[in-house]
Structure 1
């Protein structure tokens, strides 16, 4: 018998949202919309890889505005989503920036550089009348300078792989997340095994995040996994909501 998870949250988080990734996501989003009543948190990149400035894509901006009107949340996700910093100076930095990811944009930024990009992203949201509460660094990598910058800004939260962090004090809140490495068949196979184990371990967790990426959508195996997992967790009684909504509920319970 399936144990009731009523009251527990389910957060569907769509990473790397930009004009060139929409073609990957569209069939998945349509399938989720067909389920009905599943709000999504969209991690929006203002100028993906420096070639996709959202200011030059009015149709896509209108699409995002429509998602907000339907109850979805938009989150600032870096600015360029690419690592354009100087060459790595240590073996650890080289591993993090060239093996773990090539897109750790905020991994080495100074406070001033981070503030400049964050302000530019906030201005984009303001120009489009998009509510903004959260920031997520690409690959969840943040320098000390980025953390200092976030403490100065009117944002409510940021995220790591397994936690949400209330700003400005970076109070950690457990929020375990499933995420795949889907670039090759063997990675997809390992990701499936690990995710199945994690899902069992987190059966009683107050919230589970599903973090989907464009590359997941390019393979039937991984795309079906995310849809099946979403439906399974919904069937167990988990309540779908946005990140900001779930965090607001936690504050209400504390209050």
Structure 2
């Protein structure tokens, strides 16, 4: 490979870092994770995945101190994604695969895995309206809790014209179907020793296996802030992957809208 080609290859590499489950109940953990990520990745702040009413017990309220902090994070450059409405899965899953995904891939938090198109659209739209009213900016997109989407959620994403969505293996445009990045997201699970051990092993393997990948995604969660092992693994992962791979924004993956205008959104009613 020529020197110019190598330079272009390196410049095209991206590290996308996100902090999940941003909600008042996890405020101290989110502060610590943003600081930790910043120490490894420099001045570009991570993307923030915001839950408007976490588990129906931790709402983000207009005029609150947390709402003001959310706006400051946005003003400082964090991309803000809608991350469900409550993050809690209350659906009765009929299909065998969905029952397995709900039971094995998350602990009752796959909110959008079993929702109908209508309910998914209502919750997505209400979350977007709340966050945009607080930040004064368009959200970057929608990412389902636990990265789990059912048919209703996929249909609702198209209805609401979100520019970006993400799951375990890709980042895509829901309206066009264009895939902007592929590859597994590196993340950690801390709710049991077994899951922690498996996620530590996976992170160790992936940060080496993906070192030449064009786009790498790293996602951290509030529970990680309470685990020394997870924090050490996060630090090591970001240290390895940030070599020759500058932190980037999700928006860098997708071309801007042609006219820069906001899409027209259907009226929504805040879910109960």
Normalised to the residue count of structure 1, the TM-score between the two structures is 0.88
Equivalent runs, 1:1-255 vs 2, <5 Å: 5-34=10-39, 36-55=42-61, 58-85=64-91, 87-101=92-106, 102-128=108-134, 129-176=136-183, 177-234=185-242, 236-248=243-255
> Distance in 2 between the 1:32 and 1:133 partners?
20
Alpha carbons of structure 1 residues 163 and 56: separation in structure 2 relative to 1, 3 Å: same
Q: Give the drift of 1:248.
A: 3.8
Matched length: 246
Q: Give the drift of 1:157.
A: 1.1
Alpha carbons of structure 1 residues 57 and 215: separation in structure 2 relative to 1, 3 Å: farther
Tell me: higher relative CO, structure 1 or 2? Use CA pairs within 8 A at least 6 residues apart. Answer: 1
Give the secondary structure class of the aligned counterpart of 1:230: helix
Aligned to 2:270: none
> Unaligned regions of 5+ residues in structure 2, if any?
1-5, 259-272
Q: Give the drift of 1:130.
A: 3.2
> Distance in 1 between the 2:33 and 2:166 partners?
23
> Unaligned regions of 5+ residues in structure 1, if any?
none
Deviations 1:62-100 (A, max 9, x none): 111111111111100011100122x33344333222332
> Distance in 2 between the 1:232 and 1:18 partners?
29
Q: Give the drift of 1:9.
A: 0.3
Question: How well do the aligned residues superpose, as a CA RMSD in angstroms?
Answer: 2.2
Normalised to the residue count of structure 2, the TM-score between the two structures is 0.83
